[in-house]
């Protein structure tokens, strides 16, 4: 047993912004937690520095459940991405400390190993079908055994999920959709993208037809609808994609509306995944108990940490629903490692999203996890297995960034 004696928030931008919390206990053991919320980083940094850290010093580091309940119930204004990312960072840092004190990799405290590695999916994309096929080939060469496909849409400019240099660079460091600050003080505003759902619905089945024709029926393929469709549109896409046997269709409708998925579910057998913008188990309550989804997409980083996501996963398991945790590059290596320890331990693991971080990010965050032959391995370091190099982090100051916004062709704001 040892009390928390120190808590520091680090904001660094090695290619993109990350917010990291470091807790230290009275014996000098340190733990890290990821608190990155793309486009709203400083709100979480302030929540931690101004509202949580003053409550942490002197608390018992071992009492993780009590600390979680204290921060969640004690806020009164519960839930929401800022609050839950801040609580997640504290929670993961405490799990890191506990595992280091026990001298075991964190997954050992979560039940031990349920599998030899976590099946990961990568992001293939392109503006045109030939570029998409090249991108799938590159991912297969990198070892991926499951691949998400995102495509440009005829008549539209930049579209969510299509990497900026679409045909080259298999590891796709240029995927990041957030627009970063502009040197010279120009006012920073989100990029405005144009959107046309009818053009999208016409085009996407032709993309999957081409990918299946080229790579055969076996390869697990995924697609992200990024919250843009009505239930009827989503149902029609799900039906149109049935011949291509998707692993999942993600975020087909706006995520606030759990009931929307009743109609989608009744119309199509395409598996449904949702949840990257959810914060608590209550966002899933209808979806899980009515079996409206197949995969929960939360990130440890945005869902109250390991303590809460573990409970969501167990709740989902009772209904035969699996995990597919969020893991784009705006989850830091600390958040990615936390997901990985859960992936290895949970019985109802399904798949893990994985995009390798940039070289600059991996200099700042020293990681112990590896990707081999399609599987992610948390490694055998004690705790989470990730350390933050403060000196290198200091070389990359915060750089304001915003995710894009979406407008229909007549200028109406739409979901991005
Ligand atoms: O910051 C936004 C990204 O996390 C999100 O757009 C990524 O949808 C996403 C995914 O499935 O990885
Ligand atoms: Mg998504």
For residue range 7-30, what is the model confidence (pLDDT) as tens digits? 999 999 999 999 999 999 999 999
Active site residues: 160, 226
pLDDT digit string, tens, across residues 221-268: 999 999 999 999 999 999 999 999 999 999 999 999 999 999 999 999
Residue having the nearest C-alpha atom to atom 9 of ligand 1: 328
DSSP H helices in 181-253 = 197-215, 231-241
Distances (CA, A) of 121 to 136, 140, 386: 11, 11, 21
Output the pLDDT for position 171.
44
Residue matched to tokens 């990961």: 120
Nearest ligand 1 atom to the CA of 353 is 12
pLDDT of residue 182: 58
Q: What's the 49 CA to ligand 1 centre distance in angstroms?
A: 26
Q: Which ligand is nearest to the CA of 336?
A: 1
Contact 301, 333 (CB under 8 A): no
Q: What is the pLDDT of residue 167?
A: 39
Give, for ligand 1, the residue of 224, 274, 278, 354 to mutate: max count of ligand atoms closer than 8 Å to Cβ.
Answer: 224
The structure tokens 């486009």 sit at 39
Q: Tell me whether domains 4-105 and 110-384+401-414 share a fold.
A: no
- Check pocket membership of 403 for ligand 1, CB cut-off 6 A: yes
Residue 302 has which token pair? 């945005």
Which residues is 387 bridged to in the sheet? 366
Q: Which atom of ligand 1 is nearest to the CA of 226?
A: 8
Cα–Cα nearest to 171, from 338, 395, 361: 361
Under CATH, which number does the domain 110-384+401-414 receive? 3.20.20.120
Ligand 1 centroid to Cα of residue 104, in Å, is: 31
Each residue of 52-83: b (16+ CB within 10 Å) or e? bbeebeebebeebeebbebbbeebeeebebbb
pLDDT of residue 169: 40
In short, whether 224's Cβ falls inside 6 Å of ligand 1 is: yes
Residue to substitute in 44, 163, 272, 276 for testing ligand 1 pocket (most ligand atoms within 8 angstroms of CB): 276
pLDDT < 70: residue spans in the chain: 165-174, 181-187
**What residue ranges do the domains of the chain occupy?**
4-105, 110-384+401-414
pLDDT of 186: 61
pTM value surpassing 0.75: yes
Contacts of 410 (CB under 8 A, 6+ apart): none
- Asked: is 4-105 a CATH 3.40.50.1100 domain? The reply is no
Q: How far is Cα 322 from Cα 152, in angstroms, rounded to an integer?
A: 29
The set of residues, in sequence order, having a beta carbon less than 8 Å from that of 168 and lying 6+ positions away, is none
């Amino acid at each position: 047993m040892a009390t928390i004696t120190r808590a520091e928030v680090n904001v660094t931008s090695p290619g993109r912004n990350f917010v990291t919390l470091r807790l230290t206990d009275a014996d000098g053991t340190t733990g890290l937690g990821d608190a990155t919320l793309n486009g709203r980083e400083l709100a979480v940094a302030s929540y931690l520095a101004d509202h949580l850290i003053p409550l942490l010093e002197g608390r018992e580091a071992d009492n993780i459940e009590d600390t979680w309940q204290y921060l969640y119930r004690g806020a009164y204004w519960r839930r929401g991405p800022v609050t839950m990312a801040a609580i997640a960072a504290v929670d993961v840092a405490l799990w890191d400390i506990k595992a280091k004190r026990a001298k075991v990799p964190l997954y050992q405290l979560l039940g031990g190993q349920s599998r030899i590695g976590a099946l990961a999916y990568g992001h293939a994309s392109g503006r045109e079908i030939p570029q998409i096929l090249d991108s799938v080939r590159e991912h297969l060469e990198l070892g991926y055994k499951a691949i998400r496909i995102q495509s440009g849409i005829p008549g539209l400019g930049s579209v969510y999920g299509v990497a900026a240099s679409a045909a080259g660079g298999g590891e796709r460091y240029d995927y990041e959709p957030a627009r970063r600050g502009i040197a010279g003080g120009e006012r920073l505003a989100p990029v405005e993208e144009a959107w046309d759902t009818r053009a999208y619905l016409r085009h996407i089945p032709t993309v999957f037809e081409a990918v299946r024709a080229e790579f055969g029926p076996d390869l697990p393929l995924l697609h992200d609808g990024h919250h843009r469709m009505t239930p009827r549109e989503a149902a029609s896409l799900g039906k149109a994609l049935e011949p291509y046997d998707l692993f999942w269709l993600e975020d087909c409708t706006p995520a606030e509306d759990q009931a929307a998925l009743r109609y989608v579910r009744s119309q199509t057998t395409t598996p449904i995944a949702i949840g990257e913008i959810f914060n608590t188990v209550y966002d899933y309550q209808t979806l899980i108990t009515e079996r409206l989804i197949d995969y929960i997409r939360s990130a440890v980083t945005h869902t109250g940490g390991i303590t809460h996501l573990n409970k969501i996963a167990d709740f989902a398991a009772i209904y035969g629903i699996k995990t597919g945790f969020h893991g784009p590059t705006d989850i830091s290596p600390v958040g990615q490692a936390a997901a990985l320890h859960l992936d290895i331990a949970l019985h109802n693991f399904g798949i893990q999203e994985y995009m390798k971080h940039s070289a600059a990010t991996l200099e700042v965050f020293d990681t112990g996890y590896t990707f081999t032959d399609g599987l992610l391995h948390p490694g055998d370091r004690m705790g989470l297995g990730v350390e933050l190099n403060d000196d290198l982090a200091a070389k990359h100051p915060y750089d304001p960034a915003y995710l894009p916004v979406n407008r229909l062709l007549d200028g109406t704001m739409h979901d991005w």
